[in-house]
Structure 1
Amino acid sequence: MNNFKVVEKFISINGEGSKAGQLAAFIRFQGCNLNCSYCDSKYANSDDAKYSLMTEEEIINYLNENKIKNVTLTGGEPLLQKNIKSLIFELLKLNYNVEIETNGSVNIKPFISDLRPIFTLDYKTPSSLMENYMNEKNYNYLTKDDVVKFVVGNQKDLITAKNIIDKYDLINKAQVYFSPIYGQIDPKEIVAFMIENQLNGVNFQLQLHKYIWNPNMRGV
């Protein structure tokens, strides 16, 4: 029986990405291999973070009880969770819409088959202090259902994002999003950069949950 280290589970709206505004069940797993400067879920990242063990069956029962079809697996870094591949494909076989929020450092290829989740793949810009850990081979496996997200806090981050978008032709491979580090950059600055650089095909987003609720609130 597969057990998973779950820090929290909750029902809310998707705050960002291609399903922003839609209801989703969030399963947040313990543990991460990165330490981003702006991380808003550090409480889930460390080896001693509090968690509950849940089986596949218990996770699926939770989804059934709440009658939710969109499922977001997040963390931490969910792809580091032991036996996560089994859970992903079981959810897909049950016709759940599975989105995986992954930090961009883990190879996504082993998690792709005929049944395929949606990947929301971060590219860690310089502000994160984690840019050197990015696995850029992942861009070979993307489809137009997937998302590449650049969390940006200044002009250097924006320039880096544009360079990566151009280098890997990301606009033609996936959906591309710019998301501001909350409270660190004026969103108007991002839009101005998009206009100046004619970034057709790039989506600007705000993290909706941070505007609906207290930005530090958990479980939303």
Structure 2
Amino acid sequence: MVFKVAEKFVSINGEGTKAGQPAVFIRLAGCNLRCSYCDTMWANSFDAPHEKMTEEEIAGYVRSTGIKNVTLTGGEPLLADNVQTLLDALSETGAEVEIETNGSTDISVCDSISPRPTVTMDYKLPSSGMESHMLLSNFSLLQSTDTVKFVAGSDDDLERALEIIKHYDITNRCRVFFSPVFGKIEPAKIVDFILKNKLNGVNFQLQLHKFIWDPDKRGV
């Protein structure tokens, strides 16, 4: 199989449960959403600049790095044809595989992979402009090792995230992270909201890579 790799690089995880740890990133071209705050818009077109690589070539690159955490991202990686083949190949490297998905596509494909990749799934809040695309059935597929990520840019976003957490009992299903849309909301406002609502099990995070490097820098 051939995959459109928009970017591949080694850096640290900027967010999530392994924030600060070394990771190999494989970014596939193409996304079905157009979030207002997207920081990888250049990779969202299915004909975005890319190199064509087979699953064996991608797995070989991962092995060559000597890094044990692998993040498959995009775009929206679950839209790639035969993505299960790629996930199988990455799993066979012995690496710990994480897939970052935008919340609009079925995550059940991960269940047939052994060992199963961890899923970091966005829930797109109102300011993204994409909330109507969320596939709510994904909440029933989440496992305790998975993560739901809420990227908030306004007070309305925070209130909506609270509604979703309560309605789907997410903190008892998996890990939950809140982070700010960079430059759109004060981080302290999110922390205050978490404390005010006694959101046990919710983690606050900043995107580390945007503070270490230029926020618009690629390959980090």
| TM-score, normalised relative to structure 2 | 0.97
Kept after mapping to 1: 8 A contact 2:56/2:89 = no
| C-alpha distance in 2 between matches for 1:110 and 1:13 | 26
Moved over 3 A (4+): none
String of CA shifts for 1:49-94, please: whole Å, max 9, x gaps.
1111011111111111111111000000000011111110222233
- 1:193 is matched with which residue? 193
Tell me which amino acid in the other structure corresponds to 2:46.
D
String of CA shifts for 1:163-207, please: whole Å, max 9, x gaps.
000000000001000010000000000001011111111000000
- 2:73 is matched with which residue? 74
Secondary structure of 2:119's aligned partner: strand
Q: Which runs of 5+ in 1 are unaligned?
A: none
- 2:170 is matched with which residue? 170
| C-alpha distance in 1 between matches for 2:212 and 2:80 | 30
Instruction: Name which of structure 1's ranges 82-91 and 158-167 shifts more when overlaid on structure 2.
Output: 82-91
- Counting aligned pairs with the same residue, the percent is 57
Pairs within 5 Å for 1:54-203: 54-113=53-112, 114-203=114-203
- 2:41 is matched with which residue? 42
- Kindly report the root-mean-square deviation, in angstroms, between the aligned alpha carbons of the 2 structures: 0.9
String of CA shifts for 1:21-63, please: whole Å, max 9, x gaps.
0100000000000000000000000133111101111111111
Pairs within 5 Å for 1:201-220: 201-220=201-220
Pairs within 5 Å for 1:3-42: 3-42=2-41
TM-superposed deviation, 1:138: 0.6
| C-alpha distance in 2 between matches for 1:62 and 1:68 | 10
Tell me which amino acid in the other structure corresponds to 2:18.
K
Tell me which amino acid in the other structure corresponds to 1:58.
E
| C-alpha distance in 2 between matches for 1:94 and 1:27 | 14
String of CA shifts for 1:143-176, please: whole Å, max 9, x gaps.
1210000000011000000000000000000100
